[in-house]
Amino acid sequence: MAKKRKPYNETDEQTEARQLLDTIANTATRGSKVSFDRKMDNMVSLLASLKPIEDKILDLMAQKGPIIDEIDALRKTMIKECIHPYTHLTVHNNTVFCKFCNKTFSVVGHDKRD
């Protein structure tokens, strides 16, 4: 590509930086630059086609929020009133653990059988 015109009122420091960038940018061939520009245009169009999908996802996430809040409130109530169902109980070192409410129980007077 052609060199960029020197801007009006450019300082020596800005001139040096511009020349450094020009040197690096001009190492590629014209064909490579055109190909890169085409790929960049393609990527921009793909990103534009992705935008409506992202908007739909954000709408669904907004719809999901209140449901998650209800689930959380219900779970807190269930933990508070946990009946320790058999399917959620496990035995560890002579104690019983409820996997739902994370409480540990030890049964007093329970004989250990061989």
> What pairs with residue 57 in β-bridges?
none
Q: Mark whether 57 and 70 lie in a shared domain.
A: yes
Q: Mark whether 70 and 18 lie in a shared domain.
A: yes
Q: Mark whether 28 and 72 lie in a shared domain.
A: yes
Mean pLDDT across 23-48: 94
Q: Mark whether 54 and 100 lie in a shared domain.
A: no
Nearby residues of 101 by Cβ (< 8 Å), 6 or more positions away: 79, 82, 84
Mean pLDDT across 54-75: 97
What pLDDT score does 111 carry?
61
Overall number of domains in the chain: 2
Q: What is the CA radius of gyration of the chain?
A: 33
Mean pLDDT across 56-85: 96
Cβ–Cβ contacts within 10 Å for residue 28, how many? 13
Could you tell me if residue 3 is inside a domain? no
Mean pLDDT across 73-94: 94
Domain that holds residue 39: 12-81
DSSP state letter for 88: G
Q: What DSSP element (H or E) covers 89?
A: strand 89-92
